[in-house]
Chain A
Amino acid sequence: MTLAAVKTEKSDAPVVSADAKVIAFTGAPKTSFAKMLPRYARSVASNVIPPLITAALLLLIWQIAFGRAGATLPSPTQVWKDAKDLIVDPFFVSGPQDIGLGWRTLTSLQRVGIGFSVSAVVGVLVGTLVGQSVWAMRGLDPIFQILRTVPPLAWLPISLAAFRDSSPSAIFVIFITSIWPILINTAVGVRNIPQDYRNVAQVLRLNTFEFFWKIMLPSAAPYIFTGLRIGIGLAWLAIVAAEMLTGGVGIGFFIWDAWNSSRLSDIVVALFYIGIVGFVLDRIVGAVGSLITRGTAAS
């Protein structure tokens, strides 16, 4: 298997309030603070508070390191002072090129949405073919293995030449970057469909379409979603890089533009946007995956 399946991290199990129960059994009259909090609130708190503390500590270190005069990078307070408008209002529009980062992010997301959707559909279909047919695998797999190592930006000049426009070129880069993990994971998933399921399908005489829809997709779904999750991460990485070069509207170009006009604080804010959006995208695909594959993953 060429791509190791990425294990999706388990969400932390809610902390069972065993100690609270013990208190109730002994009939002690004192009501503990933990007992009064509903269980879900406690589990939320135990998941949210640690990262908040870490973030606060990092901000503090950052402030100490770059807070003095003449530092090469802006400190957190400096960023807040310089780029307050970008932080507090993501969706302002003050002019054709002076818009909130929310709008720019949405433009980038739209490109990712188109490119990633196409690569998901094509990746799953071609991956199914490669997983199902030995000859398709022998013919295509070596080519895919070579193509998938090409860095996203190396595709950009070629696609610019082909499409003669920046937006479709950026979308193509998304597509070509995110399709490989989807394709390869789907192929692995299809190859791993248990013979039992194939036998069931044969006895029932399911046709190709029914087999694909009712057996193959659900059975390979955990693999497919692993591929989709890696794919969306790569797509988000690629769009920022591609937009830096193609220009126009988008979070990537915003960074490049800010660098050219020495607005370092704006870049810092944009980095946070990119990180948070990437995190959210990953979690969305992960959540959809665990919702859809809850039957298969449990077996």
Chain B
Amino acid sequence: MSAYLKLDHISKSFRRGSTETEVLRDINLSIEKGQIVSIIGHSGCGKSTLLNLIAGLTQVTTGGVLLENHEVNSPGPERAVVFQNHSLLPWLTVYDNVALAVDKVFGRSKSRRERNDWIMHNLDLVQMTHAKDKRPTEISGGMKQRVGIARALAIEPKILLLDEPFGALDALTRAHLQDSVMQIHASLKNTMIMITHDVDEAVLLSDRIVMMTNGPSATIGEVLTVPLARPRKRLDLVADRQYIAAREAVLKFLYERHRFVEAA
């Protein structure tokens, strides 16, 4: 079976004046349809750059991103991004923020009524219908992120890219949103790539965890498969042997092997 999304020998360099910095080197990764893959690594290792490359917001220096065997190198709605700081437009209501995306993507294929139903359906998925007429400044950080997810889901992307989606949230809100993401994934079976710096979050949500070495010239150090069955329950996992083992493996990579790579 060929991969759904394939990152083929990607490297990325940024040039500033005469100095050129290689941020990413030789990234190879295949992601199957319906998988949740986390990318974890210390800050500055180029995780966000990698996500932007997949999104097409920045261009690869060499290599290519292939989605269903077609190269993608510009942004498009089939790769929706949930941004770290939600990126909702403050002058639009919650409903209108989602509507902006839905009207653009489905403006021709769906009638006005269908689009309205679809917006409400997606707001319902993230339990935000009650605040549809509020503006982003009037709702909490967690709610904004929910709306960001609804906006991304509403354009029916082939792949959902989440850039540290819960990084700015408190632990309890984060747990709620992680549960929401798992529920959504259980019903829609989306393919997701998530950047995170939270080991528990990575293990809880992912099918595979991609661990990045330290930059510059960061690359994939290890890929860990998380064999835990779904649906996963936060409380049941606390004492689960596989969960603990996966968690330990990631921690060891980040705090033992990672240092070794840096020194080498």
Instruction: Give the interface of A toward B (CB within 8 A).
Output: 194, 196-197, 199-200, 202-206, 210, 214-215, 218-219, 221, 293, 295-296, 298-299
Contact = CB atoms under 8 A, between A and B. Distances in A.
Interface residues of B, number: 25
B105 A204 contact: yes
Interface in B99-132: 100-101, 104-105
Interface stretch (B39-47, B71-79, B219-227): B71-79
B90 interface: yes
Interface string B74-87: 11110111010101
B57 interface: yes
Given A202-B56, A219-B89, A221-B91, 16 more contacts: A194-B87, A196-B83, A197-B87, A199-B81, A200-B87, A202-B74, A202-B75, A203-B79, A203-B81, A204-B77, A204-B101, A204-B104, A204-B155, A205-B104, A295-B92, A295-B135
30 contacts: A196-B83, A196-B85, A197-B87, A199-B57, A199-B87, A200-B83, A200-B87, A202-B56, A202-B57, A202-B74, A203-B57, A203-B79, A203-B81, A204-B77, A204-B100, A204-B101, A204-B155, A205-B75, A205-B76, A205-B77, A218-B89, A218-B91, A221-B91, A293-B91, A295-B90, A295-B91, A295-B135, A295-B137, A296-B91, A299-B136
B137 A203 contact: no
Contacts of B56: 202
Contacts of A219: 89, 91
A235 to B, nearest CB: 27
Contacts of A199: 55, 57, 75, 81, 83, 87
A299 B83 contact: no
A204 B56 CA distance: 12
Contacts of B137: 295, 298-299
Interface of B: 55-57, 74-77, 79-81, 83, 85, 87, 89-92, 100-101, 104-105, 135-137, 155
A202 B79 CA distance: 11
Given A199-B57, A203-B75, A204-B104, A298 B90 contact: yes
Contacts of B75: 199, 202-203, 205
Contacts of A298: 90, 135, 137
A200 B151 CA distance: 10
Contacts of A206: 104
Contact of B100 (A214, A221, A295, A296): A214
Contacts of A200: 83, 87, 89
Contacts of B101: 204
Nearest to A206: B104
Nearest to A199: B57
A237 B91 CA distance: 33
Nearest to A198: B57
A215 B100 CA distance: 10
Nearest to B138: A298
B220 to A, nearest CB: 25
A152 to B, nearest CB: 34
- Sort A-B residue pairs by CB-CB distance and give the 8 closest, nearest first: A295-B91, A299-B90, A196-B87, A202-B75, A218-B91, A298-B137, A203-B75, A204-B104
A220 to B, nearest CB: 11
B90 A203 contact: no
A210 to B, nearest CB: 7
A218 B89 CA distance: 9
Given A202-B57, A202-B75, A203-B55, A296 B81 contact: no
A214 B99 CA distance: 12
Given A205-B75, A295-B135, A210 B89 contact: no
A116 B81 CA distance: 42
Contacts of B57: 199, 202-203
A215 B87 CA distance: 12
Nearest to A207: B104
Contacts of B81: 199, 203
Nearest to B105: A204
Nearest to B152: A203
B233 to A, nearest CB: 33
A205 B155 CA distance: 12
Nearest to B76: A205
A297 to B, nearest CB: 9
A196 B87 CA distance: 6
Nearest to B136: A299
A204 B85 CA distance: 17
Contacts of A221: 91
Contacts of B83: 196, 199-200
A210 B104 contact: yes
Contacts of A218: 89, 91
A293 B137 CA distance: 13
